[in-house]
A = this chain, B = another copy of it.
Amino acid sequence: MNQTRVNLKAPEEQTKGSATKTLILEAALEIASKSGLEGLTIGNIAEVVKMSKSGVFAHFGSREELQVEVVRAYHQKFQEVVFAPALLKPKGLPRLNQMISSWLKMSSGGDTSSCFFISGAAEFDDCPGIVRDELLRSVEIWRTALLRAIKEAITEGHLKKSLDAQALLFRLYSIALGVHHDSRFLENPKCLVIANKLIKEIFAANKASK
């Protein structure tokens, strides 16, 4: 469950108010990673942090604003766990590979935490509002980063020039959706093996000729 914690400054460096807010956000992130953003209520958070409902409510204007902040906290965590380590890899296929593999690992985690970018998309696709907007913003940032990595893999000569980058993004994103679905709904951990083999095959089939 450590992965679901928000990495923020130590409480002693913060004002009391922001330390409490951090505590609430940590609890909310943990609840939402199990029961979705829609599973978040001021009530269940208050129970976990042992505060009154009005105490929790005072830190966020509304349930929607709390959900938006949880999406932001998740985005930050995603950047740290999935994206930042990939930037240490060389540009091109090594970096793209690292981005995909750590994302898949995170989406199929045995700790029952889900990828909000995936579960949130399904929860909010039909719910216009600030939570959907925030989720979409995060997902678009991630998709842009993936697309950039695909294009770099082409310019670095790792993948062939004739490759349709948008189509490859669709393929890779769909595989991540498949892993999330099969591991969480079907409870079939074998999907990760199938997915990793498939990604290897896709990259091999689209290798640039020397």
Contacts and interface: CB of A to CB of B under 8 A. Distances in A.
Interface of A: 34-36, 38-39, 112, 114, 118-119, 121-127, 136, 139, 166-167, 170-171, 173-175, 177-178, 181-182, 184-186, 191, 194-195, 197-198
A170 B185 contact: no
A34 B191 CA distance: 29
How many copies the complex holds: the figure is 2
Contacts of A198: 167, 170-171
Given A124-B185, A173-B178, A174-B181, 4 more contacts: A170-B194, A174-B174, A177-B177, A177-B178
Nearest to A175: B174
Nearest to A124: B185
A125 B178 CA distance: 13
